[in-house]
Amino acid sequence: MSESTTYNGWSNRETWVANLWLTNDQEYYLLLKEAISMFNSALVSAEWLKEQIRDQLDDESAIASMWSDLLSTAFYRINWQEIIASNLD
């Protein structure tokens, strides 16, 4: 059985979920738009956005556990450049 590496047109489910939240939650949407407007490079915007969200993740998963490890793994699968590119106006 072959496993697909894409999800709903995105590179993976984690990227799709992150984009869904970033575009449907006002606080996250403003952060996404800030990342896009602050830099002339999609790569730099993606890295900045990743750092901002990672800071929130670190606050939420400060206690080591199986769940925090799984959450961190999912976080690092997100394709931040794909999210920036798909939200450029």
- β-pair partners for 10: 7
Full domain range(s) for residue 22: 13-86
Confirm whether 3 is domain-assigned: no
- Model confidence over 43-70: pLDDT tens digits? 999 999 999 999 998 887 778 899 989 9
Give me the number of domains the chain comprises: 1
Model pTM score: 0.89
Q: What is the crossing angle of helices 42-60 and 26-38, to 10°?
A: 140
Residue 10, phi then psi, degrees to nearest 5: -105, 165
Confirm whether 82 is domain-assigned: yes
| Sign for the pseudo-dihedral over CA of 79, 73, 70, 56 | negative
